[in-house]
Amino acid sequence: MMRNKQQPPPPPKPRKDHRHWSQQIQESVVSSTHEDSLNIIVKGGADSGLFCFVGDVNHDHISYHGQKLYTEDTILEIQGQKISGYTLRDATLWLKQVSQNGAPVMIKTLRPGLLPRELRQFLTARFQKGSVDHDLQQTIRDNLYMRTVPCTTRPPRPGESNGVDYTFLSLEEFYELEKTGDLLESGIFDGNHYGTPRPPKEPQPNAVMRRPTPGGNMAGSPGDTKRKRNNSSSEAVQSNDYTDELPLPPLTRKKSLERAHSSSNLGPLPSNWEMAFTDEGQPYFIDHDTETTHWLDPRLAKVKKDSDSGEGRTLF
């Protein structure tokens, strides 16, 4: 007996405000009224696979100089530091550090739904290079690479150390990480799988460390970022700052990962199209020419059409 075919969900209604999320950033300058730490609870974090967001706010103990903070707001910056890709621990420590003794703190946030809650969902979306969305993806990756050791299925090269340059995995082990959702991003380059695992909740005691400068860049020149090959992985650049110790991968590793993640880039959205997200973080697409919404990425539809017409492109 044939069952009735399950109908797809109705398309979500387009938001009335069609401005890009970058045009809806809220700036709040806050300080504690009791000269102690701010009564703001941060939740989420890359160790949970999430953007950081406001968990709870005690408005009675906060002085505002601008817009208010609200529960569930996505946190993009704290005192000039772009924290997308931070662990919950690092974001909380940074907020505590810059708000000491009642010091005012600039916090940039977005209301819920303008960005997905999950980092993986945003990282797997395709954006035009140089766009605000692409820049945010790079910020997330930069912050992740300071806090986690990427993994790969390729064999180690001379001088590379397991757990320092990469975590070297079998194909079965890699697939298991993907299956359990422990990879925030993954891709294939030169026939090998690469992935970015969730960072640990606490810094690993034997990780190779670098400390960030106040502007968010790593201390030292680009050449200094390459780990010394012959030293133990416990060798570290010690820091007395709020972040204690943070790992930094080699530039060569970062480039390999970026090539893997961008190997299937579909390019920018067509003109007058916009990617949006439901309150649950599910992406959908708005055609502003027809004022209609669609679940299917229009770029994927074009790839399928080209493939069907025999142009040799493959839909994955």
What are the pLDDT digits (tens) for 228-274? 322 222 222 223 233 333 333 445 555 555 555 544 456 677 888 87
Of 3-17, 77-91, 182-196, the one with minimum mean pLDDT is 3-17
Task: Tell me the average pLDDT of the chain.
Answer: 76
Please name the residue that has the structure tokens 């993954």: 186
Q: Name the β-bridge partners of 107.
A: 28, 78
Element (H, E) at 262: helix 251-262
Q: What residue segments make up the domains of the chain, in order of their start?
A: 21-110, 120-262, 273-308
- Interval 173-201 mean pLDDT: 93
How much is the pTM? 0.64
Look at the alpha carbons of 116, 118, 121, 122 in this order and tell me if their dihedral is positive or negative: positive
CATH number for 273-308 (one of 1.10.287.610, 3.30.930.10, 2.60.120.260, 2.20.70.10): it is 2.20.70.10
3-state secondary structure of 64: strand
Question: What is the rounded CA–CA span in Å between residue 26 and residue 98?
Answer: 19
Read off the pLDDT band of 6 (50, 70, 90). low
Asked if the model's pLDDT at residue 94 lies above 60, the reply is: yes
What integer pLDDT is reported at residue 288 of this predicted model?
Answer: 80
Q: What's the distance, CA 272 to chain centroid?
A: 26
What integer pLDDT is reported at residue 231 of this predicted model?
Answer: 29
DSSP 8-state secondary structure symbol assigned to residue 269: P
Which is higher by pLDDT, 11 or 293? 293
Percentages helix, strand, coil for the chain, rounded to the nearest 5?
Answer: 25, 25, 50
- Interval 164-180 mean pLDDT: 93
Question: What is the rounded CA–CA span in Å between residue 238 and residue 177?
Answer: 31
CATH placement of domain 120-262:
3.30.63.10
Of 6-15, 95-104, 247-256, the one with minimum mean pLDDT is 247-256
User: C-alpha angle with apex 185: 180 to 187, nearest 5 degrees?
Assistant: 105
Question: What is the rounded CA–CA span in Å between residue 127 and residue 170?
Answer: 31
- Interval 145-172 mean pLDDT: 93
CATH placement of domain 21-110:
2.30.42.10
92 φ/ψ angles, rounded to the nearest 5 degrees:
-65, -45
